[in-house]
Structure 1
């Protein structure tokens, strides 16, 4: 029973925070949300039982308030800074959390993750090692293009694509500004189909929950491509199950990962699968929404339960099946910089039964900065259809009706997903 327990949620604005509070309240939990934002800018604060205007970085104050208010559990969503702070609080106060600091450091560091993969025969993208400053002898070995990343960043922050040594040196210096650890990884920028897999962990058992193909558009030769659509199930699911799934599961079991949720991202091409990073957390794309709707298992809810009871209760892993019996799409609306002046066609889209969730990150009056990162994703629409033919029609209808205009009346949406890319899926799952 969760009723009358107290849950503190760190960060009310990031994706999933609203749903975390919504679920906890449904279970009779007294919810408190803390961050430095005003209530109107922090969605989860607006529905919580109580709000604190304390920054998630102010651990001394939060520790004091947790003790004074007899908080039973502390949780957070997808924001990695807040996850690190939650781990610190929970370890100091002996409160349950699904992972510890050592596990988090391993899984959130891109270089450590790839080293772990290589040790377990799990394929990864080739990387070049730099210890400190860039050395000319290493640059001579590089085959361009490459992609430069801070090992400890997320959401595309500090990442650049480079086609020459000059661009590499500049990007490397810039990436250092976005790395707390001052560690940078340089990888081959390989072509292929990007994909993502999500696993649910319960008491040491690890189960593949979903796999999707991710479609992007390049807005600049230097910045990372930004997402247009995520399609479930992946056309490569059966190949992945046959070649990589068991190796990935064994790898994480050997590391002692027992509870929670994790995702891995990679590229599939003619040479096989190539992973480049992971997250030991809920995915920002919200795959748990599809998993819950189609298979009746919700790892977000299980992780909230863990923070209050020390156990991933509420759902059974036997319900997991990544080969969904319907087709799903997370449709992304990426916008250019500017002030949002008007929204058209958004207000009533959630009334459609085939649209299970609308995650809107901005509102009229907000300023969108040109970052070349996921901060330019204005909205995500989660769609479930019986087949790819109806999915294609739904996407076309949404893209024809929805407009996001700036304060001068210009369309801010940068590109639209080409539904012709769905044609290759029509006969994959029979």
Structure 2
């Protein structure tokens, strides 16, 4: 509607129409949001700082022990290399010093044979100044030759001590190697145990789903014909529910290698998956965190796609996983915090229970999407 004002038509304010337009805008905006993040997690924030259970404590402890043992072994090996270098240097200089020492011995012998004495020098000197000059000259010759002989003795002693130090360091290196191997075995065993438990949980979920499906099928059979029942079961439900037989990642992670081999295997795979995204180049960070906390290395990268298109649509700085209102100062810090939170709060790998906890409002879609992404890595 409009009114006349000074021969002009002035539109009147229609509150109902304005409210209707505003409601339409809000609805359109809300419908557009899922395209940015198809399954916003609204995950619980507590698991980010959750305390580890006994198995997780062992995983994290063995990771730290292995890193420490490897670092100590590398330090000892560097010391051995430095010791070898010093031994080589001493052996290279020893022949020349032996020659100098031999010449010094001859000079001292000749000096002694010539029979110089204080009385002879005093009687032969014309003045006291001549006496002092002659004495100082002979003393310098004597000191120089003695020093050359002492230098040879010192070099031989240093060589002997350095060789003994080398042997001690070799024994220490052997001890550190055994310690590192033991720590690695413990780390591998802890991670394999976590994987075994995850497989058992997945099998239990699948069995429960199969039993539930049988019950549902029997109930449905009472109402509809067998053909309609099969058609109904084959079609996806309108609510987008998870498949009736939950799946787990088809590939098991190999924990039988050492940390470096593990990181070398998964870094390029994760980098390829994250290529072109804000998380590009963080494959090593994901792989190292996965080893340190005993988590399937595909899980955290896959969630980043489900939640933020691999970091392209983060609600908070460096929070690519839709995890509460947390923000981090770098991707490295964020990745380590997220993987640690997964390990402590959700388990080794993706499960239906983990999906229900991570994304309660839309866990079915979250589960299927994230699992599909894991299979791509």
TM-score by length of 1: 0.17
Flag the structure with higher strand content. Answer: 1
**Higher Cα radius of gyration:** 2
**Structure with more helix by fraction:** 2
